Structure 1
Amino acid sequence: MSRDSRLARMAHVLVHMACNHGAATSDVIARMLSTNPVVVRRTMAGLRDRGIVTSEKGPRGGWRLTRPLEELTLLDVHRALETVSVFTIGPTADHPECPVEHLANQAIVGALAQAGTALEAALAQVRLSDILAEGQALRAARDADGPHVCPNTARGAWS
């Protein structure tokens, strides 16, 4: 079963962008995520369209946050990614004339709608600043070196 990890990956990137107070190029983000810069540009474009980031061209260009982390929730990022469904289960159309299939589909669609509402409510409760604060607390408990959340992200990695 395929998983869509874009929400976790973009939350990770956005927190690092806030910590590093500068533009992050698609190449730098791609190295961080072990992916292709084209994939980064395509994904970040959705965040730009929702007003979460902006992009600048030129030697000092790159992606920049447009709002502080305190104003961004996981739900904001999720919606910007335009995920069709977070669930891999769904109704079937194998036997559209069968009333049992129809009833089973209704039950599944109803349950998915309830689960989707609950998921969105939970995502709305998590601000990206909460992730940063918890990460900094964990890091401080392990290492008094500084505010960087991920141990594999060296200072200056965004420059």
Structure 2
Amino acid sequence: MIKGFKDFIMRGNVIDLAVAVVIGAAFGAVVTAIVDSLITPLIGLFYVPNDDGESGPTLIGIYGQKVTFPLSGLITAIISFLAIALVVYLVFVMPMNKWKERQAARAGVVEEPEAKLPTEAELLVQIRDLLEQQGSAPAPATRRSVEPPSPSI
């Protein structure tokens, strides 16, 4: 039972997932604070915040109301996601993959690239060539005009 649990935990995808969740949650607050203190004020340089404090382009709607597209929230979310994903990849996923490669090399397991399968056209050419070699290649089919039978009344 303990060996099975150890094998389950040492599987790469379980460790990657656990690390991503923990580090993503912890690092998310840091990235959000950086983006809120740097990116949001930069957006505020170009757009005046509306009454709700949202910065972004403001357009007049068809009924005369002002509509603000809050870009700061969207940009904050995108930058936060990319920063967290980059850190998780560089700090955890990449080293884990290298560790797995070393373990496989120690065990003597070498991953071979998958053989490229032939296309349909290549297979048909091979079949034609084999039939010609055997001398039993069928003669090219000639088109005969086939007229439908005339209806008998």
Q: TM-score, normalised by structure 2?
A: 0.28
Larger radius of gyration: 2
- With a CA cutoff of 8 Å and minimum separation of 6, indicate the structure with the bigger relative contact order: 1
What TM-score does the superposition give when structure 1 sets the normalisation length?
Answer: 0.27
